[in-house]
Amino acid sequence: MTIQTPPDPTADETAMHLPQAVMRFLREADPQHKANAHDLLAAFATDATVVDNEHSYTGHDEIHRWREAESSKYTYTVMATHVEKFDDTRYVVTNRLEGDFPGGVVDVIYRFTLADDLITRLEIAP
C-alpha cells in the first residue's frame, strides 16, 4: 500500500528549475503530451539504465521499448507533488498519478542520476 503524501505547493515551481534532460523526460512521459520517442531518448545517455518494477532497461533501444509498452497500458493524469535536488547530478521527483490502473491513485518516485547533462540512470518506484 502506498501512503499518499500531500502535494508540496512549491513542487511545480521547483520543477521548472530542473535540468533540461529531466524536464524533457517528464514532458515526454506525461500522457497528456503527444510523446515523441526521439525527444524522450534525447534526454538519456546512450548507455543509460532505467529501473522500473524491478526490471532494468539499458540503452536507447531497450528504453524505447520499455516506454512504448508502459505508455499504452493505462490512461492517467500526472501532478508533481515533490521535487528535490541532492546535488548537480541527483534529483528526485514524485508525481501523483490518477487513472484507470488498479488502485486508481499512486505516488511514483523518479530518481534521476545525470552526467554531461543527460540522464544516466532513472529508478522508478511507487
pLDDT tens-digit profile of 19-69? 999 999 998 888 777 667 788 899 999 999 999 989 999 999 999 999 888
CATH number for the domain spanning 111: value is: 3.10.450.50
Higher pLDDT, 8 or 118: 118
Which residue is listed with cell 524533457? 24
Indicate the number of domains in the chain: 1
The pLDDT of residue 3 is: 41
Which domain range does residue 32 map to? 11-125
The pLDDT of residue 1 is: 36
